[in-house]
Amino acid sequence: MAAASPLAPERFPELPPIAGVTLASAHCGIRYPERTDLMLALIEPGSAVAGVFTRSKTPGAPVDWCRKALKHGKARAIVVNSGNANVFTGKRGRDAVAQTVGAAAKLLGCDPREVFVSSTGVIGEPLAAEKIVAALPEAAAAARPDGWTTAAQAIMTTDTFAKGATRSVEMRGARVTVNGIAKGSGMIAPDMGTMLAYVFTDANIAAPALQAMLVAGNERSFNSITVDGDTSTSDTLLLVATGKAGNKRVTRADDPALTAFRRALDEVLVDLAQQIVRDGEGAEKFVTIAVSGAASPRAARRIGLAIGNSPLVKTAIAAGDANWGRIVMAVGKAGEKADRDRLSIAVGGVPIAEKGGPLPGYDEGPVARHMAGRDIRLAVDLGIGRGRWTVWTCDLTHRYIDINGSYRS
Amino acid sequence: MAAASPLAPERFPELPPIAGVTLASAHCGIRYPERTDLMLALIEPGSAVAGVFTRSKTPGAPVDWCRKALKHGKARAIVVNSGNANVFTGKRGRDAVAQTVGAAAKLLGCDPREVFVSSTGVIGEPLAAEKIVAALPEAAAAARPDGWTTAAQAIMTTDTFAKGATRSVEMRGARVTVNGIAKGSGMIAPDMGTMLAYVFTDANIAAPALQAMLVAGNERSFNSITVDGDTSTSDTLLLVATGKAGNKRVTRADDPALTAFRRALDEVLVDLAQQIVRDGEGAEKFVTIAVSGAASPRAARRIGLAIGNSPLVKTAIAAGDANWGRIVMAVGKAGEKADRDRLSIAVGGVPIAEKGGPLPGYDEGPVARHMAGRDIRLAVDLGIGRGRWTVWTCDLTHRYIDINGSYRS
């Protein structure tokens, strides 16, 4: 495995147990000879589930299945394999999903629609579902409430570190916890549901309310990051609520009792999304792009993503060059309302361009020091409205090309 | 200067004189110490002019000027400097344009609206227009009918070779010629007017007909290429018709007398556009993406550009990897109608995936040999309609990052 990204967090966080959830990982030998490649999450009866999926027009068979299963609103198991995405595999791909779902449902004695599956890895090769089916019984027997780290490891592909996040808050007199794990490193782009991310809580919340919160939180987290502007065919974000925390059940997303929970959920989503950027293929710098003064929040996000997806901006950042001319270019190409003569740009908190021109004689020293660091902050103000959004991305380095020129070989 | 792109044509083509046009180049010292950086094209009275410009929302001052001047419909001079784009330079930028235009108009005794200007190079630094003004008289005196090569050289920035193209056809009993020169290497993307390109003809065609043909031709040439998905703030394509060829004047774009001319113009535009891709920053491979079976030609182009802009597709091509899984991904993210189960892909003429799945046992030998070459041909059939379009791009290599990590330093 590649060395951990220089932007990786110091350690995987301590994720407390979530009552009603146990996890296991296993080695099925789908692709990687020497590591786990199967994650199994078991959920006790009575849970609610929400989900967001890729907006790709060529999604994988597992995504098709999850979309259908989600209508049932309940989850008993999540089965995820790495190494093979089961995408563009035709009827065999659908069969592989049916095999996996059927075996898990039989094992747990549940409705097949309560089994969610994801696959991540190479596209266009048949998935050997029988390897997953064979590994399921042992994995189910081994599932533990503290299996978060190994679960997060089992779903990695080109990731260099396992990704997890947790928050706890009070809710209607009960302590509720939100745990999440995620994977993602390349093929990370806007317009997605997300990469693979699984969030669990013991809160007692009905599925429609969960779904509404997840969709909203996803916009400001996974849908606000980009590594390479490429959208995966497998993006999946699931949120499971076991209801074991003991709080009085909440059924409506606009219930004030959800305020603290919503904030905790959003924080977990943003935390995981940022970790995916920090593990962006070849990333050497983590970049926060704060856009303000745009015509609308939506416009601010599109402008932020145009900056974050620009290869010229990303290569300049890799070189430590505060090349705001390229930022101007990216603002211009975003297709959103912009007025060259009202545009202001700050790098690392230092204003370097204002109202359509460079600030004469700004102090280049602090800017150069900021650009030499790991955490780059760009602020762009359009000067025409009140729309604001924050987008996260990474730089574009030689290592990105190395990684993606050799992924299949 | 960097070594010429491995995809460069063998030589700059022989461009015959265009009656009514003379060209000169000069060294003004705007940025480059040891090469020419000013191009001047002089046009005799009586010409017609058409133009297409960047769709950037932050265009440079020269683009603003050209848009305004174009309404007048006549051209006496085109002044182009390289080394400085005069973009995001505020009022000083507008003053620099006014200075240049004023000096040229005075020199030629013409209306300022008959002087077109372009600037290309670094963004956000004030342009020393006085250097251009000082060089104009000598350049005007030195202008020659055969100055095409040196003119094309003077407008280069990160280009590694000068770009020109020519075609001649019969039109209403007269022989008419179309000559074009262009520059462009990075910041090349869809949704642009184009990079800098200047096309001249001796045909006698009224400005509205010229404009209609230019807009149409631009769609299938400059608007169908991408190097890095970044759109320049300076993109300019001008077409000047001197009317000296002796053909009876054509005033309507739908006049059948224009059939051969339109084809010649389109060929010159496509030729120049392909040369820009062949000089794409860091390019090692020239990639033709033919999309068919899409819901509409527009959908086919968007899908082609999604493939051509995908860093994952481009890095795979750089590595000689016929990674059609990434092509599927790019089709999926384009946002156009697609049906995974009807999609077919061929590489170098060899079908490798059909109707939603890999073709079992296709012969990898010829595909691998094709991918090792310089000219890569991808064909994607959506299987749902009759829309087709061809897009050209290049691969994404380490040299792209080298070039763009050091452009300002």
Say which of B149, B194, B201, B397 is annotated catalytic. B194
Test A319 with B123 for CB contact under 8 angstroms. Answer: no
Q: Beta A375-381 vs B236-241: how paired, if at all?
A: unpaired
Dihedral Cα A58, A64, A68, A73, nearest 10 deg: -100
For residue A58, give the nearest of B54, B332, B404 by CB distance: B332
Averaged over A212-235, what is the pLDDT? 71
Considering A220, A252, A278, which residue would you say is the last residue of a domain?
Answer: A278
Considering B243, B278, B313, which residue would you say is the last residue of a domain?
Answer: B278
Contacts of B338 in chain A (CB under 8 A): 57-58
Nearest CA in chain A to B327: A123
Residue B16, domain member (yes or no): no
- Are residue B200 and residue B290 in the same domain, yes or no? no
Test B89 with A357 for CB contact under 8 angstroms. Answer: yes
Test A56 with B397 for CB contact under 8 angstroms. Answer: no
Q: Is the pLDDT of residue B192 over 80?
A: no
Q: Is the pLDDT of residue B373 over 90?
A: yes
Q: Is the pLDDT of residue A409 over 50?
A: no
Per cent of chain A over pLDDT 70 is 93
Averaged over A114-130, what is the pLDDT? 89
More confident residue, A406 or A326: A326
Distance (Å, rounded) from C-alpha B396 to C-alpha B36?
29
Averaged over A384-403, what is the pLDDT? 88
Averaged over B47-74, what is the pLDDT? 86
Query: Which residue range forms the structural domain that includes residue B94?
Result: 21-278
- Are residue A272 and residue A327 in the same domain, yes or no? no
- Are residue A243 and residue A123 in the same domain, yes or no? yes
Confidence of residue A349 (pLDDT cuts 50, 70, 90): very high
Contacts of B56 in chain A (CB under 8 A): 329, 332-333
B143-167 pLDDT, tens digit each? 999 999 999 999 988 788 888 888 8
* CATH number of the CATH domain containing A328: 3.10.20.340
Confidence of residue B405 (pLDDT cuts 50, 70, 90): confident
Q: A136 vs A81, A108, A143, B130, CA distance in Å?
A: 11, 10, 10, 77
Q: Is the pLDDT of residue B1 over 60?
A: no
Q: Is the pLDDT of residue A347 over 70?
A: yes
Nearest CA in chain B to A227: B311
Confidence of residue A2 (pLDDT cuts 50, 70, 90): low
Total domains in the fold of chain B: 2
Distance (Å, rounded) from C-alpha A402 to C-alpha B262?
44
- Return the pLDDT at A359: 85
- Are residue B131 and residue B268 in the same domain, yes or no? yes
Give the distance from residue A163's alpha carbon to the nearest chain B alpha carbon, in angstroms: 23
Residue B299, domain member (yes or no): yes
Test A398 with B401 for CB contact under 8 angstroms. Answer: yes
Test B124 with A315 for CB contact under 8 angstroms. Answer: no
- Return the pLDDT at B195: 62
Max avg pLDDT among A51-60, A212-221, A330-339, A370-379? A370-379
For residue B311, give the nearest of A229, A336, A357 by CB distance: A229
For B126, counting Cβ atoms within 10 Å of its Cβ (0-12 exposed, 13-18 middle, 19+ buried), the class is middle
Please choose, from the candidates B249, B253, B124, B118, the residue with its C-alpha nearest in 3D space to the C-alpha of residue B193.
B118
Per cent of chain B over pLDDT 90 is 36
Please choose, from the candidates A106, A110, A101, A104, the residue with its C-alpha nearest in 3D space to the C-alpha of residue A74.
A110
Residue A15, domain member (yes or no): no
- Return the pLDDT at B130: 97
- Are residue A223 and residue A371 in the same domain, yes or no? no
B101-125 pLDDT, tens digit each? 999 999 999 999 999 999 988 877 8
Q: What is the ipTM of this complex?
A: 0.72
Give the distance from residue A365's alpha carbon to the nearest chain B alpha carbon, in angstroms: 16
Determine if the pTM surpasses 0.90.
no
Q: How many CB atoms lie within 10 A of CB B357?
A: 18
Say which of A149, A194, A233, A236 is annotated catalytic. A194
- Are residue A77 and residue A155 in the same domain, yes or no? yes
Test B90 with A355 for CB contact under 8 angstroms. Answer: yes
Q: Is the pLDDT of residue B329 over 90?
A: no
Averaged over A8-17, what is the pLDDT? 89
Residue B12, domain member (yes or no): no
More confident residue, A99 or B269: A99
Nearest CA in chain B to A320: B405
- Are residue B259 and residue B162 in the same domain, yes or no? yes
Nearest CA in chain A to B85: A325
CB A16 within 8 A of CB A179: yes
Averaged over A43-61, what is the pLDDT? 84
Considering B260, B278, B296, which residue would you say is the last residue of a domain?
Answer: B278
A137-169 pLDDT, tens digit each? 999 999 999 999 999 999 988 788 888 888 888
Test A230 with B125 for CB contact under 8 angstroms. Answer: no
Q: Read off the amino acid at residue A57.
A: K
Averaged over B294-312, what is the pLDDT? 90
Q: Is the pLDDT of residue A233 over 70?
A: no
Averaged over A280-308, what is the pLDDT? 90
Averaged over A253-274, what is the pLDDT? 84
Contacts of B229 in chain A (CB under 8 A): 229, 309-311
Please confirm, yes or no, whether A194 is among the known catalytic residues: yes
More confident residue, A314 or B213: A314
Averaged over B5-25, what is the pLDDT? 90
Contacts of A59 in chain B (CB under 8 A): 332, 340
Specify the DSSP element, H or E, that contains B238: strand B236-241
- Return the pLDDT at B77: 94
Residue A4, domain member (yes or no): no
A190-220 pLDDT, tens digit each? 343 346 777 878 788 888 888 888 888 777 7
- Are residue A333 and residue A360 in the same domain, yes or no? yes
B229-276 pLDDT, tens digit each? 666 666 677 788 888 888 888 888 888 888 888 888 888 888 887 888
More confident residue, B54 or A36: A36
* CATH number of the CATH domain containing B222: 3.60.70.12
Contacts of A337 in chain B (CB under 8 A): 57
Contacts of A123 in chain B (CB under 8 A): 325-326, 328-329
For residue A233, give the nearest of B90, B328, B398 by CB distance: B328
List the structure tokens of B366: 């010829």
Helical packing angle, A90-108 and A129-142, nearest 10°: 20
Test A329 with B123 for CB contact under 8 angstroms. Answer: yes
User: In A134-268, at which residue ranges do the beta strands (DSSP E only) sit?
Assistant: 163-171, 174-183, 196-201, 225-226, 236-241
Nearest CA in chain A to B93: A357
A vs B, Cβ pairs < 8 A, gives 216
Confidence of residue B191 (pLDDT cuts 50, 70, 90): very low
- Are residue A154 and residue A75 in the same domain, yes or no? yes
Q: A1 vs A4, A307, A396, CA distance in Å?
A: 9, 31, 21
CB B165 within 8 A of CB B64: no
For residue B230, give the nearest of A89, A311, A343 by CB distance: A311
- Are residue A117 and residue A62 in the same domain, yes or no? yes
For residue A405, give the nearest of B55, B319, B343 by CB distance: B319
Q: Is the pLDDT of residue A55 over 80?
A: no
- Return the pLDDT at A54: 77
Residue A16, domain member (yes or no): no
CB A5 within 8 A of CB A162: no
What integer best gives the mean pLDDT of chain B? 86
- Are residue B97 and residue B237 in the same domain, yes or no? yes
Nearest CA in chain B to A57: B332
- Return the pLDDT at A230: 66
Distance (Å, rounded) from C-alpha A283 to C-alpha B201?
49
Distance (Å, rounded) from C-alpha A171 to C-alpha B62?
60
Confidence of residue B174 (pLDDT cuts 50, 70, 90): confident
Interface test with B, best of A157, A329, A352 (most B CBs within 10 A): A329
More confident residue, A131 or A4: A131
Q: Which of A397-406, B297-306, B394-403 has the lowest mean pLDDT?
A: A397-406
- Are residue B89 and residue B195 in the same domain, yes or no? yes
- Return the pLDDT at B161: 86
